[in-house]
Structure formats: C-alpha cells, structure tokens
Chains A and B, each alone.
Chain A
Amino acid sequence: MISGTATTTELAVGARTIESFSEESVTLGGVECFQLIAEMRNTAREAVLPPGLHPTVPPALSLQAWNVAESPWGAFSMAIVRVGCRSGARARGFVVGTVVSTETAADGLAGTYGFPSRVGAVNLRHSYDGVDATVALDGTVIAAATGLDPTPMAADDVQYTGSLTLAHTPLGLRLVQVEATHQSTSVERLTARLGTFDGTGWGQRLLDPYFVVSASVARSEVTMPAVRFVCDPDAYAWDGTESVSN
C-alpha cells in the first residue's frame, strides 16, 4: 500500500485557519458544477499527498468549477483542484487549491471548511452545446477547459467524492473532512479538453493532468454539513481520525 510522501509543512503553505468548528450546515442553491477528471503521471502520485493519504493508481486529478447563485456568502463562483486519494478505505479528493470569485465567499469557505481559498476570476459558461471554464489569478489563466457534446445522464450518474482540506484547526494542522451532498436536477456528460493547466499557479508544480478521462456538468443544490471529523495528515486514517466534538 503506497502513501503520500509530501512534507506536511510544505503542503501547509497557504493553509487557511478554522478558528472554531461550526455546528451548522451550509446550503448552496442554484449550483452549476463542472467536473473534469484527468489522469496524471506517477511523478504526481505519492509526491503531492501527505503521508496519511494513499494515491489512486493511476493518479488522478479533478478540476471543478462552480457557479453558486445562493449561499450565506452571496452569489459566487469557485474552482477547486483535488488529487484523488484514499483516506483509510474511503475515496476522497485532497484539495490542492481553491480560487473563489469573492472575498466574502473565500473567507467563508476557508473559515468553515478549511478550503485554501484565494480570490481570483472563475468563469463558468454552461450552454446547450457545452461548457467553458476558465480560472485566473492576478490576470494569469491557470486553468481553461471546454466540454462539448453534452449527453443527458441520470441525476445520480456522476460521483462526487468527499474532499479533504489541509487547514489549521483548533485541534492543530489537520485534514478536514468535507462531505458535500449534491442533489442534482440535471446531469450531462461531456467530451472535454483541458487547454491550460498551470500546476505552479495552483500551488503544486508536480500536477500533470495529461490525459482527460471525463467531464460532467450538473445543476444541483449542495448541502455541506458541519465538519464532524478531522485527520492527522501524518497518520493513517484508522489511527489519526478525530471527532471534532470530543
């Protein structure tokens, strides 16, 4: 069984802080979520994950771009890059970077769930013939993807695995389990192309999404429950998982 080899302190550069764990869930309404999955080469397998997580074989990256119409932080857009992994036996995505269109939402996502949010431009255009998604920081495009030829799917045909963010918490530097529930009203599968991807711009130069596997776009309401568990990033999940209520 292989495990991450990244140094946790290096991964924690840019980590945000959760001052206290909220007991309330967050509901995001009118969400459009574009998700692209791509395989990476083995150079980005163990080296981008903390020792407590296990990579998938082959290593895989997911790029998500969201338009959120309603939230406690108002309307916003965001993009998330995650590396597919296992925490214990569970399928997860380790969040490498998050770009959010408003400072309010960036701070809300960081302070509630530990997303390493930076404020930038996220443009997600969803039309009848496909999807365009562009993410920019300080005017530099760090991801651009297109999805064409949408094919309708059933509402539960797309899988969203839970996320793990690395954040400073009241329990210390921890992997924070974020388990969003997507209630989708429409799902389409797309033929996708990843035109631009700048790993360094996302904070991890080793990211290498060279082979696009799939893409989808869904309209949903997303519920993000309050954080219940965190994990020591240097320990396997069965030893290092803690309840935040203890």
Chain B
Amino acid sequence: MKFGIFFELSTPRPFSRANEWAVYHNGLEQCRLADELGFDHVWAVEHHFLEEYSHCSAPEVFLTAVAAQTSRIRVGHGAVVCVPEMNHPIRVAERAAALDIISNGRLELGTARSSTWTELGGFSVNPDDTKKTWDEFCRVLPKMWMQDEFEWQGKAFSMPARNVLPKPLQDPHPPMWVTVTTPGTELDAADRGLGCLGVSAAGYEEQERRTAEYYRRIADCDPVGGVVNEQVHTMNFLYCHEDYRVAREVGVPMVNSFNMANAHLYWTREAYPTQAYQTLGNAGAAMKAKKPPADDPSVIKGLPEGVGVGDPDHLIATIERWESIGVTGINFLLNAMEMVDQAAVLESMRLFATEVMPRFQSADARREPVAAPTTVPAGAGGDQP
C-alpha cells in the first residue's frame, strides 16, 4: 500500500495575497514533512478559476518547489489538463521532462480533461472535444519522450519532425495515470496501460467493482507508452488523532467543506448539452457510499464509509479494507479551506506515520527512494528506472 498526499490548494474567502501565500507555503511544509515521514507521493491538481475550491493553476511550479525541497517522495503532476487550449502537448512533454530531471526521476504524470464549465469556458474549449484530445495527448506524450525525431498529424495539433527536449530522466518515461471521476474512465485507463488515479471518493462497493474491472482489462491492454502502470490509487481525506472524538470534531467539518465546495462547482453538463459529460459533478459516488456500521465504536457520524478520519485503529481498519479490494495506494487530502490549523495537520501526519503506516510498510521502505512499480510491455525497448 502506497500513501500519498494530494493538493487542491483550496483557499477560503475572503481572498487576500497573504491567504494564498499561506496556503501554498503550508502545503510545501506538509510536503517536506511527508518526505521525511515516509509518504510515497505528493500530487497537485491543475484547476483554473475555481474560486475557493482550488487555486492550484500552475501545479508544475508548485511541484518544482516540492522536488527541490524533498529527496525521496515521488512528485505527482496530477493531473495535466489534456486540451490544447490549456496546455499544448509539446509544452506538457517539455515541462514534465524538466520536472523529472529536477526531481531526480521522481515524476508521475497524471492526465485529465477538466469537468467544469468554469474552466472549459474560460479557455474557450469545446466540451465535445476533450475526450478526443485527452486520448491524443496520451498517445503522443510517450512518443515525444522516447523518440529523437517526432512528427504528428492529429486533431489537437500537428507538427513537423522535431526532437522534443529534454528527455525525462526515467527511461523510457515517467509512469502515466488517468484521473478517474466518472464510472467508466477506469476502463479507459486500463485499456491504455495507465494507472487509475481516483480523484473522487467512492464507497467500498463501487471502488471494488471499478478495481476488479480495471485489473481484468489492463491484463490485455494496448499500452500507449513504453511502460504499463498497473496501479489503482484512490483519493481520501486524512485527519488522525488519538481521540476519535477530536478526530471527528476536526475532520468532519473539513471533509464537509471540501464536498460542499465540490458540489458548488459549475459542472459542464449543467451549462452545455453534450455526450462528453454525462454526470453532474463528481461527488456522486461518495454520496452513495454506505454509512459505517452503527456498532463500530469509532464510527464517524456524518461521514460515509471508508473516510480517513479517526483514531489510528479506525484508520488501520479502513485502509485494510481498501487494500482488500485491490487498491494499491491512497492519496490523502490533508486540509480544505484551511479548516484545520497547520500545526494540527502536521501532528495528524506524524501520528499517521507513527501508528498507521508501519502496519502497511516496513521502516526501510519508508526511508528509501520510492520506486515506481511499472512494467515494460513485452517487445518494448527501454530500461526500468
């Protein structure tokens, strides 16, 4: 089981330059501690214009600072929005390769297409096209990293033969992922040999269904790149405290504030009739998740099952359940809207690392550089990093 931390860089009103500064620098402090404590991944999203919910519009800059301030934790650029109006694919390949070099080969690259009209409309993106351009990006990025002469005639872009530089340190290229919000996207990930990066909390039953289908499909995948990244990570929340009542008092409002902010986003389906976006929001799975059993002594009232808020014993049991259904990693949101005091966030991370992580990882594993468990498809060139 891998453990990551996950940043939206949500910023509460009233907005001020100082508040945004604090959110960014609190996040960097959390990353340094996560590196020290043995967490495996840091992920930062890419969102634009999403007031309060996410002020993380330049994740590659945030992650470059993370890379420079840490030594072993893997750096998750997750996810790059794969529509050309927001990110030209050549620039994605270049920035990712540079970040892989700066981080000494610790980059993970997530891919996504954006779900809100707020973002797509702001960049004049046609919602009908985003799934197509995402697919095109996924297929060209590995080629740009692996080929010395790359040329392309496509829908999202075309280019004559060029050598896209620099090349990433990881050979043949960093592990690639797809963010999964709506059911079915996990199949897109599997078919392409990409990791399944859950970014909306699902209940056990829904996640088990998705995970089983992912593993079944990836066994026969047609990989888009030089490696297959067979991993299922889910998104969760973390607030760990010795006293579950304190965990509840602090953690439940944090979780609820994030979910409420998520529900308040202006989803593409609400604004624009299209076959490309079939759900209104991405909290649906979480909303449908079952409540925990009432006889659980650490039951966290007000939260669905599987949420990482509670005392260490509760978190161990929760993570064991996720592990039992094939989840290979959990990425935790540590705070939302700065609802939790920074000192309490750091203490929660320390307690988690002391009391929970040893049940799932050895002490040696938490000191060593984190490996990327990718595999090279049969017949492909390139060495494992």
Contacts and interface: CB of A to CB of B under 8 A. Distances in A.
Given A54-B264, A157-B275, A161-B270, A213 B121 contact: yes
A154 B264 contact: no
A89 B260 contact: yes
B201 to A, nearest CB: 14
Contacts of A56: 264, 266, 270
Given A1-B52, A86-B263, A91-B280, A60 B273 contact: no
Contacts, number: 71
**Interface residue range, chain A:** 20 to 34
Given A158-B273, A187-B273, A213-B271, A84 B266 contact: yes
Interface string B274-288: 110010110100000
B70 interface: no
B273 A189 contact: yes
A89 B263 CA distance: 5
Interface of chain B, main secondary structure: loop
A71 interface: no
B290 interface: no
Interface in B235-285: 257, 259-261, 263-267, 269-275, 278, 280-281, 283
B272 A37 contact: yes
Interface residues of B, number: 28
Interface string A1-15: 110000000000000
A56 B117 CA distance: 11
Contacts of B278: 156
Contact of B270 (A39, A57, A84, A187): A84
B337 to A, nearest CB: 8
A191 B344 CA distance: 52
B51 interface: yes
Contacts of A157: 273-275
Contacts of B17: none
B118 interface: yes
Nearest to A157: B273
B13 interface: yes
Interface of B: 13, 49-52, 117-118, 121, 257, 259-261, 263-267, 269-275, 278, 280-281, 283
Closest 6 CB pairs of A and B: A89-B263, A158-B273, A56-B266, A214-B272, A216-B273, A189-B273
8 contacts: A56-B264, A57-B50, A86-B264, A89-B259, A90-B263, A159-B273, A161-B270, A213-B272
Given A58-B118, A60-B270, A214-B273, 4 more contacts: A1-B13, A56-B264, A88-B263, A91-B267
